[in-house]
Amino acid sequence: MRSEGYKQAPLFISDNGASKGVSRVLLTEQQINARVKELGQTLTTDYSERDVVFLAVLKGALYFLVDLIRNVDLPLTVGVTSIERSLVDGEYNISSTLRDSSMIEGKHVVIVEDIVDTGHTIAALIKSVEEHNPTSIKICTLLDKVSKREVDVPVDYLGFEIPPLFVVGYGLDYEEYYRNLPFIGVIEDANWDPVSDLIAKTKESNS
């Protein structure tokens, strides 16, 4: 599917509130909503009269998933999977755990991700899903950092291709913060630490 480009949003980020620490907006709420609607319409056409399961990767993809399936005008089911990363013999090992593997056997599966970058995570997830004999597997991701790719993985439905920036918002986090932002923002200050900032503010308010 054709990738949508992004436009530099002429927005300034407040020094306070949920967006504190975010330097600029990469994708606005309006841009995201419009693209998600388009993806939903395309999926509606492609999966007409098919038994389809939308499989979301916890936690970040849940935000994208909820908005996406609202725009898919079909009977469908939803599943979730979690990803675990571990260091084994000096190498990262990635494994996935399906909450209900029986629901995907013989079904058309659309794996919903918030972002694909190196490709290692999505490759491990595809391998895990294949073990449960689905009829087909397609990948739908909101964001794709193609320039960071280390493993060749298919992206069938794409929201936006973005440059190799550290992005947060709309499910994407930094130390579990920023998931609730309605836009995709960029953090450019490598020294910014939301946890330390919150602790400092708590101490100030209690003093």
Active site residues: 117
Strands 167-168 and 184-186: antiparallel
H or E element that contains 30? helix 29-46
Amino acid letter at 99?
R
| C-alpha Rg value of the chain to the nearest Å | 18
CA distance 22 to 186: 6
Query: Which residues, 6+ apart, have CB-to-CB distance to 140 below 8 Å?
Result: 39, 43, 68, 110, 111, 112, 113, 156, 157, 158
Q: Nearest-5° angle of CA 133, CA 136, CA 140?
A: 125
